[in-house]
Amino acid sequence: MKRVLVTGGSGFLGSHLCERLLDAGNEVLCVDNFFTGRRANIHALLDRKNFELMRHDVTFPLYVEVDEIYNLACPASPIHYQFDPVQTTKTSVIGAINMLGLARRTKAKIFQASTSEVYGDPEVHPQVEGYWGRVNPIGIRSCYDEGKRCAETLFMDYHRQHHMKVKIARIFNTYGPKMALDDGRVVSNFIVQALRNEPITIYGEGLQTRSFCHVDDLISGFLALMGSGDDVIGPVNLGNPGEFTILELAETIIALTGSRSALIRRPLPQDDPTQRQPDITLARDLLDWQPEIALEEGLTLTIPYFEQMLTEAMAS
């Protein structure tokens, strides 16, 4: 039985990962400061004998004994990572140093949840791992983008300098159950607005694109990368190559929910990337992984969760 630490384990992706790791027979230590994470996400895991929850901020050192670390701690939605941008950079950079220090002492293998944001507003399309990106270092998204870029640097330097086993995943937009109602990212915003028959907020013209991956596919990719040979370090793109404009996403969600919502325009946030699509050749070749759940199917799997959340929110 492996002892696995998941930082950010009560967040959207982290809570799915904790559950999958428990199901596979591991001991799981979930570490989270509950900035965007929620107890409800891991409520069902609290009774399981191999699960332990610890409230802790990864910007402070952590001394525990583990075999593997998944470092997911960091707010991921623009409204949340821009709320306290200095804390966001600290979480990515100091958090990475602490978790790498912990991995170094315990000789644990360590996985970093990096992001497609390292490509910024890309001129290479679809994005391949060899592309260095086009990131504004001083804009409102920089705390997140540059923090994640610096974390990748630290992972590579700990690997080269201290010969540690590291794995870096560049995650593209992912959606699914356990996202918070007020998460602020596009899929949850649109589903919640559609279910309430409220206007759907299109930022800018809605012609910018994103490629959306269902969470179950993504977590399979995490496990495949962590389980791969020590020579597989990454970064490796993990995402669904199906690319859609934001308008197409809105129309699909309106159709699937049978909503009466209209579309309204809101200003396009500064530095919002115009296009994004993963090239997943590397993941296919190295990990034998590819997503199986297309957007419409994934949304159909996700909408009932939000219906349930809205019912509970109205009852309380």
Which amino acid is present at 184? G
Per-residue tokens: 58:
């990864």
By the rule CB under 6 A, 78 interacts with ligand UDP: yes
Residues 50-79, one symbol each (x = binds ligand NAD by CB under 6 A, - = not), give: -------xxx------------xxxxx---
Binder of residue 126, out of ligand NAD, ligand UDP, none (CB less than 5 to 8 A by kind): none
Q: Is the dihedral of CA 87, 18, 232, 284 positive or negative?
A: negative
> Residues 110-149 vs ligand NAD: string with x where CB under 6 A?
---x-x----------------------------------
Contact of residue 14 among ligand NAD, ligand UDP, none (CB under 5-8 Å per partner type): ligand NAD
Helix (H) or strand (E) holding 284: helix 281-287
**For residues 9 and 210, what is the distance between their CA atoms, to the nearest angstrom?**
25
At a CB cut-off of 8 Å and minimum separation 6, what does 15 contact? 9, 37, 41, 42, 45, 178
Show the site string, 262-281: x = touches ligand UDP by CB under 6 A, - = not.
-------x--x---------
> Which partner in ligand UDP, ligand NAD, none is near 167 (CB below 5 to 8 A by kind)?
none
Establish whether the linkage from the previous residue to 273 is cis, with ω within 30° of 0: no
Which residues are within 8 A (CB) of 68 and not within 5 positions of it... i.e. 6 or more apart? 2, 3, 4, 5, 108, 109, 110, 111, 226
Please report the DSSP string for 128-150 in residue order.
PTT---B--TTSTTHHHHHHHHH
**158 tagged catalytic:** no
- Contact between 278 and ligand NAD by CB under 6 A: the answer reads no
**Is residue 210 involved in binding ligand UDP (CB under 6 A)?**
yes
Options 119, 144, 158, 175, the catalytic residue: 144
Residue (75 or 235) nearer to ligand UDP, CB: 75
Residue ranges in contact with ligand UDP by CB under 6 A: 61-63, 77-78, 97-98, 101-102, 104-105, 173, 185-186, 189, 201-203, 208, 210, 246, 269, 272
Catalytic residue IDs: 144
